[in-house]
Amino acid sequence: MTKNLLLLGLIFCAGIRAEEETPAVDLELGEEINETCAGCHGEYGQGSIDGEYPRLAGLTDAYIARQLRNFKQRQRINIPMLPYTNERELPEEDLVSIAAYLASIQLPTKLPPINEAEFDALKRLQASKKVVNIAIYPGDVEVGRKFYRKECASCHGSDGYGDDNKEAPQLAGQYSRYLLKQVESIRTGDRFHEDPDDAEIFREYTDAEITAMLAWLATLDDG
Protein backbone atom coordinates (compact mmCIF):
# COMPACT_ATOMS: atom_id res chain seq x y z
CA MET A 1 0.00 0.00 0.00
CA THR A 2 2.61 2.53 1.11
CA LYS A 3 4.74 1.44 -1.79
CA ASN A 4 1.90 2.08 -4.24
CA LEU A 5 1.24 5.50 -2.77
CA LEU A 6 4.89 6.34 -3.09
CA LEU A 7 4.84 5.21 -6.70
CA LEU A 8 1.75 7.31 -7.38
CA GLY A 9 3.45 10.27 -5.78
CA LEU A 10 6.49 9.80 -7.98
CA ILE A 11 4.38 9.60 -11.12
CA PHE A 12 2.51 12.74 -10.05
CA CYS A 13 5.73 14.68 -9.44
CA ALA A 14 7.18 13.52 -12.74
CA GLY A 15 4.02 14.80 -14.42
CA ILE A 16 4.40 18.23 -12.86
CA ARG A 17 8.04 18.38 -13.81
CA ALA A 18 7.26 17.48 -17.42
CA GLU A 19 4.75 20.33 -17.49
CA GLU A 20 7.29 22.76 -16.07
CA GLU A 21 9.77 21.84 -18.76
CA THR A 22 7.49 22.91 -21.59
CA PRO A 23 5.56 26.01 -20.54
CA ALA A 24 2.77 27.22 -22.81
CA VAL A 25 3.49 29.93 -25.35
CA ASP A 26 1.72 33.23 -24.63
CA LEU A 27 2.05 35.62 -27.57
CA GLU A 28 0.67 38.60 -25.62
CA LEU A 29 3.30 38.04 -22.97
CA GLY A 30 5.86 37.80 -25.79
CA GLU A 31 4.73 41.17 -27.13
CA GLU A 32 5.11 42.71 -23.67
CA ILE A 33 8.60 41.30 -23.20
CA ASN A 34 9.54 42.62 -26.63
CA GLU A 35 9.38 46.17 -25.26
CA THR A 36 12.63 45.37 -23.45
CA CYS A 37 14.27 43.81 -26.49
CA ALA A 38 13.11 46.65 -28.76
CA GLY A 39 15.60 49.04 -27.12
CA CYS A 40 18.32 47.29 -29.11
CA HIS A 41 16.67 45.00 -31.67
CA GLY A 42 13.96 47.47 -32.75
CA GLU A 43 10.20 47.53 -32.29
CA TYR A 44 9.65 44.80 -34.89
CA GLY A 45 12.79 42.78 -34.14
CA GLN A 46 14.27 44.27 -37.30
CA GLY A 47 17.73 44.83 -35.77
CA SER A 48 19.95 47.78 -36.68
CA ILE A 49 21.08 48.57 -40.19
CA ASP A 50 24.72 48.86 -39.06
CA GLY A 51 24.53 45.18 -37.99
CA GLU A 52 25.36 45.87 -34.35
CA TYR A 53 22.05 44.23 -33.38
CA PRO A 54 20.88 41.25 -35.44
CA ARG A 55 17.40 40.96 -36.88
CA LEU A 56 15.35 38.52 -34.85
CA ALA A 57 11.99 38.74 -36.63
CA GLY A 58 11.23 35.67 -38.69
CA LEU A 59 14.03 33.50 -37.30
CA THR A 60 12.53 30.21 -36.09
CA ASP A 61 11.19 29.99 -32.55
CA ALA A 62 13.41 26.95 -31.91
CA TYR A 63 16.55 28.85 -32.95
CA ILE A 64 15.74 32.00 -30.95
CA ALA A 65 14.89 29.94 -27.86
CA ARG A 66 18.11 27.95 -28.17
CA GLN A 67 20.24 31.11 -28.36
CA LEU A 68 18.47 32.59 -25.34
CA ARG A 69 19.19 29.40 -23.38
CA ASN A 70 22.81 29.56 -24.55
CA PHE A 71 23.04 33.16 -23.29
CA LYS A 72 21.50 32.16 -19.94
CA GLN A 73 23.90 29.29 -19.50
CA ARG A 74 26.80 31.51 -20.64
CA GLN A 75 27.55 29.05 -23.42
CA ARG A 76 27.40 31.94 -25.83
CA ILE A 77 28.76 35.16 -24.40
CA ASN A 78 26.67 38.24 -25.07
CA ILE A 79 27.69 41.02 -22.69
CA PRO A 80 25.04 43.63 -23.68
CA MET A 81 22.34 41.04 -22.95
CA LEU A 82 23.73 39.85 -19.59
CA PRO A 83 21.22 41.87 -17.53
CA TYR A 84 18.29 40.37 -19.47
CA THR A 85 19.32 36.75 -19.70
CA ASN A 86 19.18 35.33 -16.22
CA GLU A 87 16.55 33.12 -14.61
CA ARG A 88 14.82 36.00 -12.82
CA GLU A 89 14.49 38.24 -15.90
CA LEU A 90 13.84 35.49 -18.41
CA PRO A 91 12.32 32.31 -16.95
CA GLU A 92 11.50 29.51 -19.40
CA GLU A 93 7.88 30.63 -19.82
CA ASP A 94 8.96 34.12 -20.89
CA LEU A 95 11.70 32.66 -23.05
CA VAL A 96 9.41 30.47 -25.17
CA SER A 97 6.85 33.27 -25.46
CA ILE A 98 9.27 35.94 -26.68
CA ALA A 99 10.82 33.42 -29.07
CA ALA A 100 7.43 32.56 -30.58
CA TYR A 101 6.42 36.23 -30.76
CA LEU A 102 9.58 37.27 -32.64
CA ALA A 103 9.36 34.24 -34.94
CA SER A 104 5.84 35.31 -35.93
CA ILE A 105 6.84 38.79 -37.16
CA GLN A 106 7.24 39.01 -40.91
CA LEU A 107 9.36 41.77 -42.35
CA PRO A 108 8.84 42.81 -45.97
CA THR A 109 11.95 43.35 -48.10
CA LYS A 110 10.48 46.39 -49.85
CA LEU A 111 7.81 49.03 -49.38
CA PRO A 112 4.52 48.51 -51.22
CA PRO A 113 4.04 50.86 -54.21
CA ILE A 114 2.65 54.29 -53.29
CA ASN A 115 -1.11 54.54 -53.52
CA GLU A 116 -1.65 58.23 -54.39
CA ALA A 117 -5.31 58.21 -53.41
CA GLU A 118 -4.69 56.94 -49.89
CA PHE A 119 -1.25 58.38 -49.20
CA ASP A 120 -0.59 58.75 -45.49
CA ALA A 121 2.92 59.97 -44.63
CA LEU A 122 2.85 58.69 -41.05
CA LYS A 123 1.67 55.23 -42.04
CA ARG A 124 4.33 55.08 -44.71
CA LEU A 125 7.00 56.04 -42.20
CA GLN A 126 5.79 53.29 -39.82
CA ALA A 127 5.75 50.74 -42.65
CA SER A 128 9.26 51.72 -43.72
CA LYS A 129 10.61 50.79 -40.26
CA LYS A 130 9.62 47.20 -40.92
CA VAL A 131 11.39 46.92 -44.25
CA VAL A 132 14.65 45.00 -44.08
CA ASN A 133 16.70 44.68 -47.22
CA ILE A 134 20.35 43.83 -46.78
CA ALA A 135 22.63 46.43 -48.37
CA ILE A 136 24.95 45.39 -51.19
CA TYR A 137 28.20 43.99 -49.80
CA PRO A 138 31.33 44.45 -51.91
CA GLY A 139 32.74 41.12 -53.08
CA ASP A 140 32.68 38.57 -55.91
CA VAL A 141 29.07 37.36 -55.88
CA GLU A 142 29.72 34.42 -58.20
CA VAL A 143 32.64 33.11 -56.13
CA GLY A 144 30.45 33.57 -53.04
CA ARG A 145 27.59 31.62 -54.55
CA LYS A 146 29.83 28.66 -55.37
CA PHE A 147 31.50 28.73 -51.97
CA TYR A 148 28.17 28.89 -50.15
CA ARG A 149 26.62 26.10 -52.22
CA LYS A 150 29.59 23.84 -51.51
CA GLU A 151 30.22 24.56 -47.82
CA CYS A 152 27.08 25.99 -46.24
CA ALA A 153 23.94 25.19 -48.24
CA SER A 154 23.49 21.65 -46.91
CA CYS A 155 22.46 23.10 -43.53
CA HIS A 156 21.59 26.76 -44.12
CA GLY A 157 19.45 25.95 -47.15
CA SER A 158 20.19 26.38 -50.85
CA ASP A 159 18.20 29.64 -50.79
CA GLY A 160 19.91 30.86 -47.58
CA TYR A 161 16.73 30.70 -45.53
CA GLY A 162 17.66 27.90 -43.14
CA ASP A 163 16.85 24.24 -42.93
CA ASP A 164 13.56 22.52 -42.28
CA ASN A 165 14.54 20.87 -39.02
CA LYS A 166 15.02 24.36 -37.53
CA GLU A 167 18.63 23.79 -36.49
CA ALA A 168 20.56 26.11 -38.79
CA PRO A 169 19.27 29.70 -39.01
CA GLN A 170 18.69 31.76 -42.14
CA LEU A 171 21.77 33.71 -43.19
CA ALA A 172 19.94 35.53 -45.99
CA GLY A 173 18.16 38.61 -44.67
CA GLN A 174 20.64 38.94 -41.80
CA TYR A 175 23.01 41.93 -41.59
CA SER A 176 26.42 41.28 -43.17
CA ARG A 177 28.40 42.91 -40.38
CA TYR A 178 26.68 40.78 -37.76
CA LEU A 179 27.33 37.61 -39.78
CA LEU A 180 30.99 38.54 -40.20
CA LYS A 181 31.29 39.00 -36.44
CA GLN A 182 29.79 35.53 -35.89
CA VAL A 183 32.22 33.98 -38.39
CA GLU A 184 35.09 35.61 -36.45
CA SER A 185 33.70 34.25 -33.15
CA ILE A 186 33.42 30.77 -34.66
CA ARG A 187 37.03 31.02 -35.87
CA THR A 188 38.36 31.98 -32.43
CA GLY A 189 36.22 29.31 -30.77
CA ASP A 190 34.26 31.93 -28.78
CA ARG A 191 31.07 30.73 -30.43
CA PHE A 192 30.23 27.09 -30.93
CA HIS A 193 29.03 26.35 -34.47
CA GLU A 194 27.95 22.82 -35.36
CA ASP A 195 30.91 20.66 -34.55
CA PRO A 196 34.01 21.11 -32.33
CA ASP A 197 36.22 21.00 -35.47
CA ASP A 198 34.45 23.97 -37.04
CA ALA A 199 36.74 26.58 -35.49
CA GLU A 200 39.62 25.11 -37.43
CA ILE A 201 37.61 24.59 -40.61
CA PHE A 202 36.39 28.20 -40.51
CA ARG A 203 39.98 29.41 -40.07
CA GLU A 204 40.89 27.56 -43.26
CA TYR A 205 38.35 29.51 -45.32
CA THR A 206 40.04 32.58 -46.76
CA ASP A 207 38.83 36.09 -45.97
CA ALA A 208 38.16 36.52 -49.70
CA GLU A 209 35.82 33.50 -49.64
CA ILE A 210 33.95 34.81 -46.60
CA THR A 211 33.68 38.29 -48.16
CA ALA A 212 32.42 36.80 -51.43
CA MET A 213 29.87 34.72 -49.55
CA LEU A 214 28.57 37.77 -47.68
CA ALA A 215 28.31 39.57 -51.03
CA TRP A 216 26.20 36.73 -52.43
CA LEU A 217 24.03 36.39 -49.29
CA ALA A 218 23.26 40.12 -49.45
CA THR A 219 21.67 39.64 -52.88
CA LEU A 220 19.27 36.87 -51.81
CA ASP A 221 16.55 39.12 -50.39
CA ASP A 222 16.46 41.38 -53.45
CA GLY A 223 14.04 39.27 -55.49
d(CA 178, CA 142): 22
Shortest gap between Cβ of 141 and ligand HEC (angstroms)?
15
Count, residues in the chain: 223
DSSP, collapsed to helix, strand or coil, labels residue 117 as: helix
Nearer to ligand HEC, 124 or 172 (CB): 172
Distances in Å between the alpha carbon of 222 and those of 50, 60, 122?
Answer: 18, 21, 25
H-assigned helices in the chain = 2-21, 27-41, 61-72, 92-104, 121-130, 141-151, 153-156, 176-188, 198-204, 207-217
Residue 17: count other Cβ atoms within 10 Å of its Cβ: 9
Shortest gap between Cβ of 66 and ligand HEC (angstroms)?
5
Shortest gap between Cβ of 142 and ligand HEC (angstroms)?
16
Q: Rule CB under 6 A: which residues touch ligand HEC?
A: 33, 36-37, 39-41, 53-54, 56, 64, 66-68, 78, 80-81, 84, 98, 151-152, 154-156, 167-169, 171, 174, 179, 181-183, 193-194, 213
Nearer to ligand HEC, 131 or 180 (CB): 180
For residues 96 and 65, the answer to whether their CB atoms sit within 8 Å is yes
For residues 132 and 54, the answer to whether their CB atoms sit within 8 Å is no
Shortest gap between Cβ of 170 and ligand HEC (angstroms)?
8
Nearer to ligand HEC, 35 or 116 (CB): 35
Shortest gap between Cβ of 59 and ligand HEC (angstroms)?
6
For residues 219 and 141, the answer to whether their CB atoms sit within 8 Å is yes
Nearer to ligand HEC, 81 or 215 (CB): 81
Shortest gap between Cβ of 107 and ligand HEC (angstroms)?
14
